[in-house]
Amino acid sequence: ASSVVVGGANSAWPENDDELVSTMVRATRGAAVMLLQREVPDRVNLAAAAAAKAAGVPIVVDAGGVDAPIPAALLEAADYLCPNESELARLTRSPTSTDDEVLIAGLELVARGAKRVLVTLGARGAIVIGATGVLARHDALPVPGGEVVDGTAAGDAFRAAVAVAVAEGVDVVRDTRGLALAAAAGAYAGSVPG
């Protein structure tokens, strides 16, 4: 597995809050979905989420990138909060090795304000959790070629495909095409380097 890191790339944002908000309002115009990632500073994600929410744009938050609590306002703004299994464990300080434990941890994030928690579980697939419990589930798909070459970006590809599905108007909970697309993207990403 490999990653390329460009130090400071996610910190080059306007320092003035008014300028930051204005930037995010412009960036949100015409958007069909807002995909946020926690390697970007929280203040930037909060400004982006506020602009998206005001414009009625659905918000998908990738919970990875930083090992810190998610601000309540970001948790509440997200239509889908997307941690992987280990991120869910860190966010809730709860075990997540079984589906029952994942459900309990996901419900904790729902109780804190998340609308839906979409947890990727590697070979165990993915599960969407809401206030009533498990809303949807999808099995992992086979990796093309039968062998994982590099799993580095599989979760990123999965979450990006969820965002595409949401942008296309697919209800990820009620329409299996959304999670199927995401599972296929994750499986494909694992079949190639990088």
Average pLDDT per run of 10 along the chain, which is 194 residues long?
Answer: 62 87 92 93 94 96 90 96 96 96 98 96 94 95 89 89 95 92 93 84
- pLDDT at residue 187 in the model: 93
- pLDDT at residue 62 in the model: 95
- pLDDT at residue 1 in the model: 45
Question: Is 175 an active-site residue?
Answer: no
Beta bridge partners of 172: none
Query: Alpha-carbon distance 132 to 126, whole Å?
Result: 17
Query: Alpha-carbon distance 76 to 170, whole Å?
Result: 21
Looking at 17, 156, 171, 175, which residue is catalytic? 156
What's the half-sphere exposure (Cβ side, CA atoms, 13 Å) at 81?
32
Look-up: residue for tokens 């948790």?
75
Pairing of strands 117-120, 59-62: unpaired
- pLDDT at residue 4 in the model: 58
Pairing of strands 117-120, 126-130: antiparallel
| CB neighbour class for 1 (10 Å; exposed up to 12, middle 13-18, buried from 19) | exposed
- pLDDT at residue 65 in the model: 82
DSSP 8-class letter at 84 = B
**139 is written with which tokens?**
């099995």
**Integer Rg of the chain from CA:** 16
